[in-house]
Amino acid sequence: MAGFDKRVASYAEAMEGIEDGMTVLAGGFGLCGIPENLIAEIKRRGVKNLTVASNNCGVDGFGLGVLLEDRQISRIFASYVGENALFEQQMLNDEIEVILTPQGTLAEKMRAGGAGIPAFYTATGYGTPIGEGKEVREFNGRHYILEEALVGDFAIVKGWKADRYGNVVYRHTAQNFNPLAATAGKITVVEVEEIVEPGELEPSQIHTPGIYVDRIIQGTFEKRIEKRTVHG
């Protein structure tokens, strides 16, 4: 069925068209709300020399960390890359280029990319190594640096529920970078826990409207917890 039906039948179809050297924007914060099966499909395909933008790079053996095992990522925009021994090793060996990006700037780079804004000024990073070499402008007596937007050849996103038109809602703090990445992919692929009938999602509660989404697939998720902390 064509029209607005964004469903695909397999993960192979979901990531059809990904090639060496492409840029991939990924949702998730730590291991929360990561598109685990889409990452697994990228690993299966073995595409190399990827530029990835994601807040973190997973952990050893899970999340984006699995793409490090076969050196599929050559460059990454991230705000925090701790907790991953293989990553540290590749960074120290200069096998991966890390463009450390303040978390809010990374979010805004994706938001701007999806919103057709090529660059924006922010006070974040002014006077620090992050601001070096970037255009500086003063507004109302304060200094701001120019940061450029990010657009991905692919955006990989993890949602909670979607309808076949690609309207997506996220669950709790698994939202994080997902709706931003979703807006900024030339091809945006969303995997969800459940695909529901159009009309089942309350229109005013949609986080990502279907216009941003190209492909939808329903999957099953491990949802690994990085730091299990309980009360009492």
Partner 1 sequence: MALTREQMARRVARELEDGFYVNLGIGIPTLVANYVPEGIDVMLQSENGLLGMGRFPTEEELDADMINAGKQTVTARPGAAIFSSAESFAMIRGGHVDLTVLGAFEVDQEGNIASWMVPGKLIKGMGGAMDLVAGAENIICTMTHASKHGESKLLEKCTLPLTGAGCINRVLTDLAYLEIKDGAFVLKERAPGVSVEEIIEKTAGKLVVPDHVPEMTFVEE
Binding of partner 1 at residue 33 (CB under 8 A)?
yes
> If you write DSSP's letter for every residue of 93-158 in order, what string do you get?
TTSSEEEE--HHHHHHHHHHHHHT--EEEESTTTTSGGGTTS-EEEETTEEEEEEE---EEEEEEE
Looking at 13-21, 27-35, 42-50, 198-206, which segment touches partner 1 (CB under 8 A)?
27-35
Burial grade of 3 (CB within 10 A; 0-12, 13-18, 19 or more):
exposed
Of 186, 182, 211, nearest to 28 (Cα)?
A: 182
Selected binder of partner 1 within 105, 156, 185, 213 (CB under 8 A) = 105
Beta bridge partners of 29: 32
Separation of alpha carbons 24 and 34, rounded Å: 13
Q: What is the smallest separation between the CB atom of 13 and partner 1, expressed in angstroms?
A: 26
Of residues 151 through 170, those in contact with partner 1 by CB under 8 A are: 160
**CB nearer partner 1, residue 74 or residue 79:** 79
What is the residue type of 42? I
Question: Considering beta carbons, is residue 18 or 76 the nearer one to partner 1?
Answer: 76
- Is residue 183 within 8 A of residue 212, CB to CB? The reply is yes
Q: Does 103 bind partner 1 (CB under 8 A)?
A: yes
Among 49, 69, 70, 173, binds partner 1 (CB under 8 A): 173
Binding mask 67-86 for partner 1 (x = CB under 8 A): -----------xxxxx----
The verdict on 228 binding partner 1 (CB under 8 A) reads yes
Residue carrying the six token digits 């973190």: 56
Site stretch for partner 1 (CB under 8 A), options 16-24, 36-44, 62-70, 173-181: 173-181
Q: Which residue has the tokens 């700037």?
A: 105
By CB under 8 A, name the one of 55, 72, 90, 167 that touches partner 1: 55
- Residue 24: CB minimum distance to partner 1, A: 17
Distance of closest approach, residue 95 Cβ to partner 1, in angstroms: 15
Q: Are 78 and 70 in contact (CB under 8 A)?
A: no
Instruction: Tell which positions 112-131 bind partner 1, by CB under 8 A.
Output: 122-130
Residue 32 touches partner 1, criterion: CB under 8 A: yes
Nearest of 204, 199, 203, 206 to residue 182 by alpha carbon: 206
User: Which residues of this protein are in contact with partner 1, per CB under 8 A?
Assistant: 29-33, 55, 78-82, 88, 91-92, 100, 102-108, 110-111, 122-130, 160, 171-180, 207, 223-232
